[in-house]
Structures are given as structure tokens and as C-alpha cells.
């Protein structure tokens, strides 16, 4: 607006100067000096307006540049939020996604979902059952990457595949405890981690294993009853045994193994003839008593 006013004033001075030039008396030195001064004033005004306009344009361009949105908007959004959203999406997808079946000469007998102590028990043809954890190699080039109810996920040559349980007969959930799936397949072989139908439960601020579906042989050789919650074995907590299931093998020669259980709300210590129990169970899991 102010630029327009300056230009208007300049145009007026220009017209006035032109009129004076037409009527100036060249013989009158005073009128000549006046006309020359008016011309110089107009020239200075032109230069001043040009400088002001140039400054205004430069300042306006600078402001516009500062208000421009940065081009890499998508990149910034991906850096801030992309990884989190992607991670959540993958987790949700994996729980329900239909994946390619893993070609493995083994059956998935059961899984125990217990956080970092989760494990899966597989029975390979002609070999004893074996307990696996995330990160273990199932075979050359095939690594266990996730344990879920009813199935495990494995990575083979960068491709995630699944191995399903053959007959998931029972899905049990203890109050306040994670979901646990146990195979009740009617075979002679069963894994140490699953052999008692163990369900993790929370007891007195700790964790125990509630045993179910005990066979007549086990009941006869050990004073263990359906519904007992095993808290400790020879002073070792359930968490310790879950992190190293094969630790139980070291007790195979004990004739009086102390086992702490919660029975009908009361904590008791029973003594198990682990040697006799081992002699009965070891052949079934491919071990020598």
C-alpha cells in the first residue's frame, strides 16, 4: 500500500516537473535552477523506491521460505512412528496369520507359554522328545522364533513358517497366570516339560506348576495327586526348573527327593522315589534309566 502511495506521489512530481519544463524561461536562471532541483528530487525518489521495493521483495521471500513445510514429511513420520506401528502390526498379524507349514519330521506335542521361560516340546521320528526355546535350532537352517498357543513359528531361509499341534486336546488358563496348552496325545512318549499336564499358576507371590491328569503309575510311585501345585524340587524353584527342564535328569538316582507342594491350600513336603519314577519314565522319553 505504501509503495503504491510513493509511486503516486512520484507520478505527480513527474507531471509537475514536465509542466515546469515546458513553461520554464531559459533566460531566467532562478527558474532553471528550480527545474533542475526538481529533476534531481525525482531521480532520488526513483532510486529510493527501487531500493525499498527490492528490500520488501527479499524480506517477503525469506518469510515465505521459513513457512514452507519440509519436504521429507513422510520420512520424519516414519522415523517417529513407523517402527512402533510396524512392530505392533507384526505382533497382531502373527497371532492370526495363516502361514506356510514347516516341513519338519517331528510332531509338536505341547507348548508352555510363560514369558521368557516359554518352551515347546517336539517329538522327532525315531528320536526322544526334546524341549526347545526361542532361538534354538530345530534343524540346520531352521530356527525357532516364536512360541504361540497351538503352534510354533520358525524361520527357514528368512521365511517365517508354522508347525501346528496335531491334537490340542486342552487349553487351560489359571487365574492370574498365562495361557498354557498341553498335548494329551495318547502315545507312550511325552516330554519332561509336559508329562504331568503342568499348568503355571501364581501362588503366594511366586509361581508354581499345577499337575493334572496323572497316570496311575505316577500316582502309585509318587505321593502326588491331581491338583497339587509343585512349588520347589530339592529347594529349586519352579522358575529355575522351567529355565532348565533337563535339570530333572540329575535327580534320577534319588530315592527320597523332597518336593514342596501346595495341597488343598496347605504347603507340604513330600518325598518322591525319583529312581523308581525315572526307571519307569525314562524309556518312554528315550533316556536310559
Q: Write out the E strands in the chain.
A: 106-112, 119-124, 129-132, 137-139, 142-148, 151-156, 159-164, 170-173, 179-182, 199-203, 206-210, 229-233, 236-237, 257-263, 266-272
Q: Look at residue 78 in the predicted model and tell me its pLDDT.
A: 25
102 contacts 157 by C-beta, under 8 angstroms: no
The pLDDT profile of the chain, 289 residues, written as one tens digit per residue, is: 444 444 455 555 556 656 655 665 556 666 667 666 766 666 676 667 666 766 666 666 656 555 444 444 333 322 222 233 333 333 434 455 678 899 998 888 777 766 777 778 788 888 877 888 899 999 999 999 998 877 899 999 999 999 987 654 433 333 333 443 433 333 333 344 455 555 666 676 677 777 776 777 677 667 778 888 888 888 888 777 766 656 666 777 777 888 888 888 888 888 877 776 666 555 544 444 4
Q: Look at residue 138 in the predicted model and tell me its pLDDT.
A: 93
- Rounded CA-CA distance 105/276 in Å is 32
**Which residue's C-alpha cell is 486342552?**
170
* Cβ partners under 8 Å of residue 275, min gap 6: 252, 253, 254, 255
Q: Look at residue 155 in the predicted model and tell me its pLDDT.
A: 93
Q: Look at residue 284 in the predicted model and tell me its pLDDT.
A: 46
Q: Are strands 142-148 and 129-132 parallel, antiparallel or unpaired?
A: unpaired
Q: In the structure grid, which three cell numbers stand for residue 94, read together?
A: 502373527
Q: What is the pTM of this model?
A: 0.36
Q: Look at residue 46 in the predicted model and tell me its pLDDT.
A: 64
Q: Look at residue 255 in the predicted model and tell me its pLDDT.
A: 75
b or e along 128-159 (b: 16 or more beta carbons within 10 Å of the residue's beta carbon)? ebbbbeeeeebeeebebebbbeebbbbbbeee
Q: Look at residue 213 in the predicted model and tell me its pLDDT.
A: 67
Amino acid at each position: 500500500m505504501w509503495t503504491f502511495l510513493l509511486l503516486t506521489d512520484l507520478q505527480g512530481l513527474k507531471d509537475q516537473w514536465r509542466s515546469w519544463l515546458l513553461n520554464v524561461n531559459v533566460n531566467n536562471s532562478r527558474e532553471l535552477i528550480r527545474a533542475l532541483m526538481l529533476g534531481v528530487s525525482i531521480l532520488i525518489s526513483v532510486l529510493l523506491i527501487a531500493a525499498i521495493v527490492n528490500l520488501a521483495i527479499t524480506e517477503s521471500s525469506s518469510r515465505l521460505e521459513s513457512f514452507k513445510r519440509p519436504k521429507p514429511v513422510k520420512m520424519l513420520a516414519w522415523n517417529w512412528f513407523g517402527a512402533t506401528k510396524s512392530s505392533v502390526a507384526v505382533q497382531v498379524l502373527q497371532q492370526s496369520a495363516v502361514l506356510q507349514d514347516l516341513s519338519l519330521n517331528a510332531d509338536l506335542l505341547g507348548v508352555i507359554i510363560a514369558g521368557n521361560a516359554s518352551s515347546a516340546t517336539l517329538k522327532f521320528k525315531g528320536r526322544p522328545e526334546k524341549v526347545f526355546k526361542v532361538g534354538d535350532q530345530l534343524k540346520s537352517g531352521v530356527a525357532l522364533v516364536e512360541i504361540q498357543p497351538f503352534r510354533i513359528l520358525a524361520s527357514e531361509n528368512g521365511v517365517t513358517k508354522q508347525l501346528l499341534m496335531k491334537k490340542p486336546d486342552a487349553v487351560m488358563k489359571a487365574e492370574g497366570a498365562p495361557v498354557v496348552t498341553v498335548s494329551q496325545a495318547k502315545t507312550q512318549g511325552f516330554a519332561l516339560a509336559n508329562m504331568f499336564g503342568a499348568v503355571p499358576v501364581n501362588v503366594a507371590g511366586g509361581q508354581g506348576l499345577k499337575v493334572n491328569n496323572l497316570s496311575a503309575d505316577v500316582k502309585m510311585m509318587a505321593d502326588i495327586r491331581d491338583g497339587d501345585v509343585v512349588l520347589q524340587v530339592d529347594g529349586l524353584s519352579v522358575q529355575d526348573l522351567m529355565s532348565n527342564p533337563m535339570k530333572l535328569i540329575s535327580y534320577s538316582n534319588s530315592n527320597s527327593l523332597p518336593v514342596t507342594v501346595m495341597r488343598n491350600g496347605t504347603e507340604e513336603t513330600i518325598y518322591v522315589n525319583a529312581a523308581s519314577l525315572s526307571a519307569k519314565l525314562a524309556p518312554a522319553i528315550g533316556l536310559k534309566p
